[in-house]
Amino acid sequence: MQIIKLREEYIKLGQVLKAVGFVENGADAKDVIKQGMVKVNGEVETRRGKKLVDGDEVLFEGQTVRIEK
């Protein structure tokens, strides 16, 4: 499991995917999210701009990222 430390109140889903290296750019993030390949807290999420806060978890291709303050 990877951890993203928040510098602000939230981080957007597309930014998380890029930050941990799951995708190379925003266009790739948009594609995998729209295809339903990303889950947030166990639910499929199709909004690239979904705001993630402390305690949220992102699952992509068997890998998990936890958002922490």
Rounded to two decimals, the pTM is 0.92
The 10s digit of each residue's pLDDT in 17-66 is 999 999 999 999 999 999 999 999 999 999 999 999 999 999 999 999 99
CATH of 2-68, one of 3.40.50.300, 3.10.290.10, 3.30.300.160, 3.40.50.150: 3.10.290.10
The residue extents of the domains of the chain are 2-68
Average pLDDT estimate for 13-19: 96
Average pLDDT estimate for 3-18: 96
Q: CA–CA separation, 5 vs 52, rounded Å?
A: 11
Contacts of residue 27, Cβ cutoff 8 Å, sequence gap at least 6: none
Contact 66, 2 (CB under 8 A): yes
